Amino acid sequence: MDHKAYIAERLPLEGVDREEIARAIAVPPDTAMGDYALPCFKFAKLLHKSPVAIAEELAAAYPTDNIIRSAEAAGGYLNFRIDTCGLANETVSRIESEQNAYGSSDMGRGKTVCIDYSSVNIAKPFHIGHLSTTVIGGSLYRIFKFLGYRTVGINHLGDYGTQFGKLIAAYKHWGNRDEVQRGGIHAINDLYVRFNNEATEEMEQEAREYFRLIESGDREANELFDWFKELTLAYVETIYDRLHITFDSYAGERFYTDKMAPVIEELKEKGLLVESRGAGIVDLEPYGMPPCLILRSDGASLYATRDLAAAIYRKQTYDFDKCLYVVAYQQNLHFKQVFKVLELMGKEWAKDLVHVAYGMVSLEDGAMSTRKGKVVWLEDVISRCVEKALSMISEKNPDLENKEAVAEKVGVGAVIFGALYNNKIKDIVFSYDKALNFDGETSVYVQYTCARAASVLTKAETAKICYEGSEIDDLCPQEADLVKALANFPDAVKSAAAGYEPSIVARYAVDTAQKFNKFYIDCKILQAETEKLRARRLRLTRAALTVLTNALTLLGIGVPEKM
């Protein structure tokens, strides 16, 4: 049941959009006042009355029933109280029948969302800076899919640029085939770092030549480039596997090599491309932005040129309704410029391009020394978290089976959750201890709650207790709070999609786990006074486990059965 829509539908008020009312209805943080609240300020102008008077009139005229039990005015707000038993029966039955689809929807049917995320750079370290784009993008991918959209996950590889000429030059001078094959990305990165530290002017010259050779299709240069790319991808894929990340396309910057000329032609035709000191630019001064660089004075294309070609290609290929770019806020200007240029080119769909910007992730000071000096490899962060998780689990539960597998879920979950829990635009400092705190606002806490619920259910099963379909005709406050949280899950998923904000689901999971734990601690489940009460509580326990599992799954986090 969508209570907001239900209330909006019946609100005795003429001449207002029902959907708008539904959107204005909020869940108050303190449910002592009510289960839903409608602020009446927005109607003051329309009705020429004070919000207080409006709330009072609406409260008196609202047709309460067995779903919405009361409507009361408080200040300029109209507070509603729902029939929680009715809600409980409906919600729990729905969770039982829908299970891992509970919270999903078909609202996206027929619509396509492209999501550009992770977008790693070939031959460069996959470092902690890529964590957010990878897990935020991965989670949005799942959330939109869950809501019925066709989703296209795109890894816009950074596989274009002069650095590849440098890499080939370095390999030619210092490289060894076996060593690079064995060392993979780390060996490649070493070569690249060495080139930047030690290259002579002569080697720089060679590098430029190799880049030109790649561009002109030279076989040897391209074979080497492809090999470096293969080694990088083989490496990053092991990390994607651990993080449960997938892509539908790996079309990177290089893919657009032959797709830029038509874009440049179009820019010229439309009189947008102007020359400035030998370079080709689009003037964005009227929009308060620096010019967008399209062609360098030597004729080479730029990052923005490739993004223009990529956007046009994606529209043609996928006919998206939205195309998201999950990229750090440092690239705010870049995307503003690219979107503006597309708009100036007359692409009406430019309005459907969204830069989903996020903040920086750094590690707590002195938290680790890295294999490679300054750069913190994501792999090392994950491994260290999993190791820590393993030692914590071994201490807490020495007899647990499959400790390694559990530690992998817990450790990886902590890394993912660390990057997802806060509003995405905030800069975050990752702390191993905080991320792995069993009592904190963490994924471990949620996972532990799931294991706790699972253990109760296993005991019930062993004792052959049957609790299917028992009617819910009473609820204590702890149970009522839990039910309301469970009923709000579909809403949380939709809000996360609407705001491109997986943290809404992450916070929902912690909040609901807290409600479950309050219920678990205050209320007897297996030892409940009557069989009826026990059945009701077991149903609630199972429903909570389903919903928490669904929430974690949307974030890409696994749920161990035991912990």
Vertex 287: Cα angle to 285 and 289 (nearest 5): 60
Q: Which range touches ligand ARG (CB under 6 A), out of 35-43, 114-122, 255-263, 316-324?
A: 114-122
Per CB under 6 A, the list member of 125, 153, 158, 280 interacting with ligand ARG is 158
Q: Is the dihedral of CA 467, 469, 473, 479 positive or negative?
A: positive
Q: Is 161 in the site for ligand ARG (CB under 6 A)?
A: no
For residue 497, give both structure tokens.
């999609």
Of 260, 186, 11, 348, the closest CA to residue 3 belongs to 11
Number of shown-chain residues binding ligand ARG (CB under 6 A): 9
The reply to whether 130 belongs to the active site is: yes
Q: According to CB under 6 A, which residues from 305 to 344 bind ligand ARG? A: 307, 310, 325, 327
- Pick between residue 127 and residue 388 the one whose CB is nearest to ligand ARG: 127
Q: Which of 130, 315, 322, 424 is catalytic?
A: 130
Binding to ligand ARG in span 500-559, by CB under 6 A: none
Q: Catalytic residue among 127, 156, 322, 388, which?
A: 127
- Identify which of residues 356 and 509 has a Cβ nearer to ligand ARG in the complex: 356
Residue at 413: amino acid letter? G
Per-residue mark of binding to ligand ARG, 121-150 (x: CB under 6 A)? x-----------------------------
Amino acid found at 161: G
Q: Is 3 a catalytic residue?
A: no
Judged by CB under 6 A, the residue of 3, 150, 156, 409 near ligand ARG is: 156
Q: To the nearest whole angstrom, how small is the minimum distance from the Cβ of residue 151 to ligand ARG?
A: 16
Stretch that binds ligand ARG, among 113-121, 170-178, 344-352, 366-374 (CB under 6 A): 113-121
Phi/psi for 174 (5° steps) reads: -120, -10
> Nearest distance from residue 377's CB to ligand ARG, in Å?
15
Beta strands in 238-389 (DSSP E): 273-276, 279-282, 292-295, 322-328, 353-358, 361-363
Interface with ligand ARG in residues 287-306 (CB under 6 A): none
Minimum Å distance from CB 362 to ligand ARG?
A: 17
Query: Please, are residues 518 and 479 in contact by the beta-carbon 8 Å criterion?
Result: no
> Which residue, 129, 196, 194, 120, is CA-closest to 162?
196
Q: How far is the CB of 307 from ligand ARG (least distance, A)?
A: 5
String of DSSP letters for 317-346: HH--SEEEEEEEGGGHHHHHHHHHHHHHTT
Minimum distance of ligand ARG from residue 289's CB (angstroms): 17
Tokens of 85: 């038993």
Burial class (CB in 10 A: 0-12, 13-18, 19+), 298: exposed
Q: How far is the CB of 127 from ligand ARG (least distance, A)?
A: 10
**Which residues in 491-518 are b (16+ Cβ under 10 Å) and which e?**
bbbbebbeebbbbbbbbbbbebbbbbbe
Which among 49, 111, 124, 434 is annotated as catalytic?
A: 124
Largest CA distance in the chain: 86
524 is an active site residue: no
Of 163 and 546, CB closest to ligand ARG = 163
d(CA 337, CA 342): 9
- Residues carrying an active site annotation: 124, 127, 130
Contacts with ligand ARG by CB under 6 A lie at 116, 119, 121, 156, 158, 307, 310, 325, 327
